[in-house]
Amino acid sequence: MKKSTKGISKNWRKVTPSETAIFREMIEKKLGVKRPKRGRPPKAVGAKMTPISIRVHPKVLSWAKKEAKRRGVGYQTVINDVLLKAAA
């Protein structure tokens, strides 16, 4: 089945990053306010975590999940707190 190209022109070009910057500047000037930044803000250098994969005993996981529910945090946070205390 042939794809529908209704409303799409093959002669269109993409907007360049410099054009986007110009458009953004013009919009901000016209409206008088800066556009909000998109996405999640970057984390501080010391706050970044390294993703890992570990295997733990089912009893350890069960305890961590119960403790997490009691504290109102994720079980990964509980495991991380215990490991940080042991490493200190």
- pTM here is 0.51
Per-domain boundaries in the chain: 50-88
How many whole angstroms separate alpha carbon 81 and alpha carbon 34? Answer: 40
28 Cβ neighbours under 8 A, 6+ residues apart = 34, 35
Q: What is the pLDDT, as a whole number, of residue 14?
A: 87
What confidence tier does 8 reach under pLDDT thresholds 50, 70, 90?
A: low
pLDDT at 81 over 90: yes
Q: What is the pLDDT, as a whole number, of residue 78?
A: 97
Q: Could you write out the DSSP letters of every residue in 65-77?
A: HHHHHHHTS-HHH
Residue 16 vs residues 7, 13, 22, 55, 78: alpha-carbon distances, Å: 22, 9, 10, 47, 46
